[in-house]
């Protein structure tokens, strides 16, 4: 029986060169930085990794690079979701071939999915392509528009998908998340995907967390989780409030471009984002750095790192 996922799992960024090509050479250093920060796994080619902006061939290359770079030190979950279920299944099969530890997929979202039954059928088609790997459904309705009842999804997926493991839940409907955690005696793993709600997620029983800002502030989130586990709620609340302040600053700008700017500041440059995501101006990068410095980010989120000059 497989072990449950635990701890912090960054949704990794895909590095790009100045001309917009995937920069495979930067995946190793990024992986090492994350592992040094004490993360518990990697979630690749998801929303954070601009998976939908990559070609299928590029997604294979990125998945291979991260899997190779980890060398089995932490689990690698490969997001394989695609509007074409055929492509998604092929990506899932590839993930199994390269030694990934799990697959995950958001549902097709161009043609609307209006109920859990269809979402389950789509997930089943993808999960069946890598039957020996745990499969995690990716619930992110703000991006996909697929706002199904996830409890209903769990009821159906458990019988329909033999390798169904749980849900990466990226939504702020905490009451539904709690229902999912408790469903069938905690049968399925519920991965909290909302960084601002990590502490509430832990309070209702999240098994692990997958997030974008873990790339730049894993030490902060590890302190939060440790404080919660030790019953030190005052400390946990303090760390969560710092995370909220950091995210508030980041959200003044296009989020993923801002995050890539911060990665450069902490010494792990990953280039810019691909269109249609924009690129921050040098002036905005400087303002972002100054705003983060003003809230103490480089002290409490990156205590062992010095910001590189912009």
CB atoms within 10 A of CB 277: 14
Q: Are 214 and 42 in contact (CB under 8 A)?
A: no
What does the block give as tokens for 254? 């296009």
Instruction: Summarize the chain as % helix, strand, coil (round to 5).
Output: 50, 10, 40
Asked about 168 being catalytic, the answer comes back as: yes
8 A C-beta contact, residue 168 and residue 189: no
Query: Taking CA 31 as the corner, what is the angle to CA 211 and CA 127, rounded to the nearest 5 degrees?
Result: 60
Containing 10, the helix (H) or strand (E) segment is strand 7-10
Instruction: Calculate the CA 300 to chain-centre distance.
Output: 22
Write the DSSP string, 23-62. -GGGHHHHHHHHHHTT---EEESSTTTTGGGS-HHHHHHH
Across-strand partners of 8?
A: 209
Q: Which of 13, 43, 137, 168 is catalytic?
A: 168
Q: Which of 136, 138, 221, 253 is catalytic?
A: 138
Q: Which two tokens stand for residue 18?
A: 């100045």
Residue 138 a catalytic site member: yes
Task: Tell me if 13 sits within 8 A of 177, measured CB to CB.
Answer: no
- Enzyme catalytic residues: 138, 168
């Amino acid at each position: 029986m497989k072990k449950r996922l635990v701890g912090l799992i960054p949704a990794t960024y895909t590095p790009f060169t100045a001309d917009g090509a995937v920069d495979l050479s930067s995946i190793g250093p990024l992986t090492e930085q994350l592992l040094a920060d004490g993360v518990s796994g990697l979630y690749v080619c998801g929303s954070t990794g601009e998976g939908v902006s990559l070609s299928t061939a590029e997604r294979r290359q990125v998945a291979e690079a991260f899997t190779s770079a980890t060398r089995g030190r932490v689990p690698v979950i490969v997001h394989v979701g695609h509007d074409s279920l055929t492509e998604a299944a092929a990506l899932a099969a590839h993930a199994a071939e390269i030694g990934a530890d799990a697959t995950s997929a958001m549902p097709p979202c161009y043609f609307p999915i209006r109920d859990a039954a269809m979402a389950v059928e789509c997930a089943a088609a993808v999960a069946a392509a890598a039957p020996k790997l745990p499969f995690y459904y990716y619930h992110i309705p703000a991006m996909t528009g697929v706002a199904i009842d996830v409890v209903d999804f769990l009821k159906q997926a458990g019988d329909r998908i033999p390798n169904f493991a749980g849900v990466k839940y990226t939504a702020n409907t905490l009451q539904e998340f709690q229902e999912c955690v408790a469903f069938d005696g905690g049968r399925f793993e519920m991965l909290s995907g909302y960084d601002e709600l990590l502490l509430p997620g832990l309070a209702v029983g999240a098994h692990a967390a997958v997030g974008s800002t873990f790339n730049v502030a894993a030490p902060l989130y590890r302190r939060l989780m440790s404080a919660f586990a030790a019953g030190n709620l005052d400390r946990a609340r303090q760390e969560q409030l710092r995370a909220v302040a950091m995210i508030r600053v980041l959200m003044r700008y296009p989020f993923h471009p801002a995050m890539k700017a911060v990665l450069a500041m902490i010494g792990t440059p990953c280039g810019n984002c691909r269109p249609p995501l924009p690129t921050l101006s040098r002036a905005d990068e400087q303002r972002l750095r100054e705003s983060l410095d003003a809230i103490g980010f480089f002290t409490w989120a990156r205590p062992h790192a010095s910001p590189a000059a912009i």
